Every structure is written in structure tokens, then in C-alpha cells.
Structure 1
């Protein structure tokens, strides 16, 4: 009998992991049952914050980003995760390439702290962006 594979939802973050932790708290109770919520931090503080928030599994660093992005079914995080030297230099060019090149759909949260402004986005509070990201994730994973 073939085991049904779970879908992998990957949350990426850096710095202290606050944005990723908030996303995980929003996602954990509403994801479909066949989804596993994983986190990868650019540093150990970010990973620990996301694990404490409820991620099922976590890893840290460049290789973890590259490995998990290639295997994810959905990727969420701040817009800086697709930018070489994003998140104050915590995102290496290899990380940015792996995330932006991954086949998985990506849900990115705008953040002016990266110095990137996306035309067409409204000026909102971070918690509103995170709530919308969680809603988009659930919609993306629904049949």
C-alpha cells in the first residue's frame, strides 16, 4: 500500500523570526490536514522563534534554505527571501536563487525594511499583510 505524501508548506525568515513566527501562528490551525508546516531560518534565532510558534520541523542556514525550497509545495516569507543580500544581508545569492527558482508558488510579504517597494501594494500594517498571506496560503492549498 502506497503511503499518501503530505504537502510541505515552508515558512522562511531571518533576523529574529518574528514575521515567520506570526505566519506560523496564523497558518497552523487552518492548514488542511495533509500539510506539514516547516520552517527555515537564515539564523538560529529565526528558526527557534518559528519552532516555538508551532512549526512541525525546522532547519537553519543556507543549505537548509536551498534543500527545503526545492522540496516545498508552497513557500511563504518576507519579500527579502528572493533578493540576493536581502534581509540586511542574511539572504545569500544562492538562497535567493533557490527560493525564486523553486517550482512552488510563493506568497511574499512586502517589507520596506528591505528597501523594496512594490507598486500596487497598499500601505498596511504588518499584521494585515500576514493575515492576507495566510488566507492566500489556505486558498492555494484548498482543492
Structure 2
């Protein structure tokens, strides 16, 4: 019986990061979709490493040289942006250059989404690269801004 409980708890611990961004459109970007794609780098950090930043989950995806995928990512981020309670965005023409979004707290954790599209950076022909970062934890927006400075 104890063995069953241990297996159940271990399964839940592995699955929790997958539930973290549930209800968000960017959820489809994380969880192994790009495992075999050489144009993408996905990072998942959880546990002790994040404790000093007051975060419980950090997920990022960076995609290079994939214009169609970049447009898909931008569309997903824009859909999620509609439910953000606080946001800071920059656009170039009609394209989203960067966005930092704060979402309503869930289970006493704040949720954040960061987006950057280097290809539309003003004043340069940068490498076509899109980055999406999802974070959640007890950190406030002001604390996060200080971390990224």
C-alpha cells in the first residue's frame, strides 16, 4: 500500500510542471513538442535552484530561423495577453517586439510570461529568434524586474 502511495506522489511531482501553465495558450509550446527540432531550445527549471528567486517554475523556449513558428508563438502570446492583469509591451509596426505579462495569482502563486522577437528589433537586422519564458512563484513583479536588470 505504501508503495502505491509513493508511486502516486512521484507521478504527481513529475506532472506538476505540465499543469503549471494550464489554461494558457502558450501551454502547447512546452512539454516536449520541440524535442527533436534543432531550431529550438527548451529549458525547464524547478526545485532548489529557483528557491532563492522565490520561483517554483521556470520554463523557456527559444526558436531560431523558423518564421512560421515565430508567427504561431506570437499569436499564442497575444491570445494570453488578453487575460493579463498587468503588461508592458513594445511593438515595431504591427509586430510584437517584446511583452512582459503578469496574470492573476493562482494557488497563491504569481504567473508571468515574457516574450521577445529579436527579428523585429528596431534598428537592425538581427537573427530571427523568438523567446518565450513562463515563470511562476511567490516573486512579485517588482522583484522580477530587479532580477532582470
- Fold equivalence (TM over 0.5): no
Q: Smaller-chain TM-score range?
A: under 0.3
Larger relative contact order (Cα-Cα within 8 Å, sequence gap ≥ 6): 1
Higher normalized strand content (fraction of residues): 2
TM score, norm. by length of structure 2: 0.27
Higher normalized helix content (fraction of residues): 1
